[in-house]
Structure 1
């Protein structure tokens, strides 16, 4: 049986465990980025932090994510998914523990930067590992579940912050930071023992290890001769490198993945800020109750992702992302009416945007993993994450300035314009990858030829140039 068995395997306990373990990284991202916002209230008063100190502490993790995604994606393609999969979680545990005992601003800034690097590294590590293990027909949905974990983590942080603040007041901020260490340790334990990606092992010529990994995970024995043929095919072509992401077709795919990701999260960060203002109309935006309001915002975005999870595998990636961006523009344009709008209209627009944004959200990590070959898959995911964080950091920094100088209406129209750019990028460059093997989706245009009957029997698939050339890894 070929590695086709991996692509077409029924979902089992291993797939479910791997999905939840991989989702731990985005969950911790949402949790750690959000819990610091709650903890800063107590930190500021106890440590006499200035506004500049708070800004540095808040921004350090975003800068770390940029660096971590850009650098450690390439390291993951070189050293393997399995090793980095646990190392980055160990860094999260250590960094969170040390944060509990920090007393100086520079210590918090350094630790938040390190935590951000580990989070940024985990995105390409975990998503590439999951993409290379899950069956084709479930890949879009399972990768989409990972992004849901971000919102759940953010909501959990606000709830935990609310409970701790109610019990022990603002002085409980060290307990808030300690909670991140506990959660990181739990997820680290979940990840121990996960087998290496068979695609990565074959790409490196480690066919015997690939056979053992498949046996351990799926309890299926793959004839080593077929893996040897796949390995020989892999080694017979030039392996793609970091610079290939910025050449030819891969440049277009890199720009597509990074730009649509950035255009999706930049206005989203703006609405995360605008959300508490809306909830303030109902008395939920002040004091500790504001933490519950922020948790509710995260839940609304989770609800928006749920229908998209089904649609990406049922109707396809391209129609979902193109139509979602088009529909996302509408509520932002309406919100351009500013404070003159009735609160019911504002809430409706907010909910509509959250619903429509589910499409691009669940594809943030699907497309980078599908459009690039094994040798640069994690690298591409890391670059896309880094590009997106430029928008996140800029949105976080510029939003208060825009609200103060331009007003909420103009700020929302700017968000609509950014979203419209996301639609243009998707309309021009989004490819359809539903139901296809990773070898097929990552192949360069025109590099595949129809397989003959004899080749189908051998399970071989030919790819040229910088893409994979795999045997037994595609569908016959």
Structure 2
């Protein structure tokens, strides 16, 4: 017997989803947020450190024979390629073996790869472990988003998911300010400071691992995969804890659900579900991910290079500018997140994508005319990314809630991988070449490409976004196991037709 309880198969009826959704916010939910949400801080730390140390790594005496364009282009693309691969690989394992096992394994992969990046002695070693760092982070996206959406009550799900995804920018701020300290040659030698920057990621990851050990498995995953007794016990324990905390009885849960338990779902059925059963939702997921992936990967990996190339900002000072941008990015989901649960998904997703794209066009026009300085460009980016960050976070929320439970982790992985491969790999490579040319026109072109893709995502959201606010995950997309249970029920017998009375009968 596993820690989840005896595994069984059969048809079961449960109120576990309704019991989870009717819980008030509690210390238990804070534990979930802290234990799982902090991964985005690590991702923001990683991406920002690389962007800000690019110029230092290319300098003589850094310990690596590598150019700035290779760091912001090739190394960035390898990191994203690793993230795409990790999302698909670990996403499949997450749906098959559970959320908890995988969000511990993926964090361990990240820790080892980051530690090995810090001791890089050659460019090929650096590139290799940038790939494996991304591999771990990509796996985190699938496992963590699945667990968060399945554990957080429906009325809070939108804002919590957005704020957690937006916490990437807390890591970005930390990485930006850390790079200023680490790149100060009065404090650390050229070949040591950047290594210490990566080392901090290892330290933070170890702290998160200690907290994450206490985060439970998703009860929704448990009852579908034959651990209904463990799911019922886990939810009952949480209910008692919440009642002790609030001092009152919880209201009765809503509707029950009947499912046919299963161990796993094959790739063919997942693909059929995503593409055939939900084609409009699939188009929506791709549009949102491609737009935000191109914009964000291009900006985060290339902003430091723009400041150095066009405004002669010293490489050791770019972190100050990026910290300001990161603060604006975090404020977007923090201040706008509640509106995704009140005003609704469709107006907020479409609005944030369209508005950020339009503002980016204006920024490109001003940059092309030479009207901006390092400070005013940073201010423009703050305004653009205030809205774009809320929109980008909603992409993860969208694909994690609009597909059936059994395909959730793989759906996140698929759209993240495809969208990020299209925008996240090509974005840094294109952006690095355009900004390295030193021509303002080339950089304007890069801005306009990102703006166009964001506007396209917003227009598609206007028509295809799902009104998921306040709804149970099972109401947004019926689980495949519930569909199977319904299909296996015998059809009700047709009522018999009474025979006509014989001639001459009375009464």
TM-score bin (small chain): 0.7 to 0.9
Report the TM-score, using the length of structure 2 for normalisation.
0.80
Alpha-carbon distance in structure 1 between the residues aligned to 2:65 and 2:143: 35
Distance in 2 (CA, whole Å) between partners of 1:279 and 1:411 is 15
In the alignment of these two chains, the number of paired residues is 448
Q: 1:154 to 1:26 in 2, by over 3 A?
A: same
Partners of 2:47 and 2:301 within 8 A in 1: no
Aligned 1:57-456 pairs, distance under 5 A = 57-166=75-184, 167-171=187-191, 172-219=193-240, 233-235=259-261, 241-272=269-300, 276=304, 285-337=313-365, 338-340=367-369, 342-343=371-372, 349-390=380-421, 391-403=423-435, 404=437, 406-443=441-478
1:21 aligns with 2:35: yes
Residues 220 and 319 (structure 1), Cα distance of their counterparts in 2 relative to 1, 3 Å cut: same
| Matches of 1:369 and 1:53, distance apart in 2 | 34
Displacement of 1:231 in angstroms is 8.2
Alpha-carbon separation, structure 1, partners of 2:51 and 2:330:
20
Could you tell me how far 1:279 is from its partner in structure 2? 6.4
SS in 1 for 2:215: coil
For normalisation by structure 1, the TM-score amounts to: 0.85
Give the Cα separation in 2 of the matches to 1:49 and 1:238.
Answer: 47
Superposed CA offset, 1:56-99 (max 9, x none): 43332111001011221111000000111111111222222223
Q: 1:464 is paired with a residue of what secondary structure?
A: helix
> Structure 1 residues 237, 101: CA separation in 2 closer, same or farther (over 3 Å shift)?
closer
Question: Max radius of gyration: which structure?
Answer: 2
> 1:39, CA displacement in angstroms?
4.2
Match of 1:7 among 21, 46, 64: 21
Give the C-alpha shift of residue 341 in structure 1: 5.4
CA shift for structure 1 position 333: 2.4
Distance in 1 (alpha carbons) for counterparts of 2:135 and 2:82: 4
How has the CA–CA distance of structure 1 residues 42 and 346 changed in structure 2, closer, same or farther, with 3 Å as cutoff? closer
* Secondary structure of residue in 1 paired with 2:152: coil
The unaligned stretches of length 5 or more in structure 2 are: 1-13, 243-252, 489-507
Contact 1:267–1:415 (Cα < 8 Å) also in 2: yes
CA spacing shift, 1:286–1:53, aligned 2, 3 Å: closer
Bigger shift: residues 333-342 or 12-21: 333-342
1:50 is matched with 66
- State whether residues 49 and 197 of structure 2, in contact with CA within 8 Å, keep that contact through their aligned partners in structure 1: yes
Question: Relative to structure 2, which stretch is displaced further, 255-264 or 15-24?
Answer: 255-264
2:399 and 2:76 map into 1 onto residues whose CA distance is 27
Check conservation: 2:344, 2:467, Cα contact below 8 A.
yes
> Structure 1 residues 330, 349: closer, same or farther in 2, change over 3 A?
farther
* Cα RMSD (Å): 3.3
2:155 match: secondary structure:
helix
> Residue 260 of structure 2: SS of its match in structure 1?
helix
**Shift in Å at residue 215 of structure 1?**
3.3
Q: Aligned partners of 1:129 and 1:468: how far apart in 2? A: 28
Please give the alpha-carbon distance, in whole angstroms, between the structure 1 residues aligned to 2:148 and 2:364.
40
Kept in 1, the 8 Å contact 2:284–2:460? The answer is: yes
Distance 1:272 1:32, change over 3 A: closer
In structure 1, C-alpha distance between the alignment counterparts of 2:398 and 2:358, rounded to whole Å:
25
Do the aligned partners of residues 220 and 439 (structure 1) sit closer, same or farther apart at CA in structure 2, a change above 3 Å counting? farther
Deviation at 1:246, TM superposition (A): 4.2
| Preserved CA contact (<8 Å) 2:257 2:482 | no
Give the Å deviation of 1:339: 3.0
Higher helix share: 1
**1:76–1:122: structure 2 CA closer, same or farther, 3 Å change rule?**
same
* Residues 51, 303 of structure 2: 8 Å contact kept: no
Task: Name the CA distance, whole Å, in 2 between partners of 1:82 and 1:408.
Answer: 43
Please list the CA deviations of residues 31-52 of structure 1 after superposition, one character each: whole Å capped at 9, or x if unmatched: 1222233444554433341337
Gaps of 5+ in 1: 222-226, 448-461, 470-476
Q: Deviation digits for residues 419-447 of structure 1, max 9, x if unmatched?
A: 22112221221111000000001139xx9
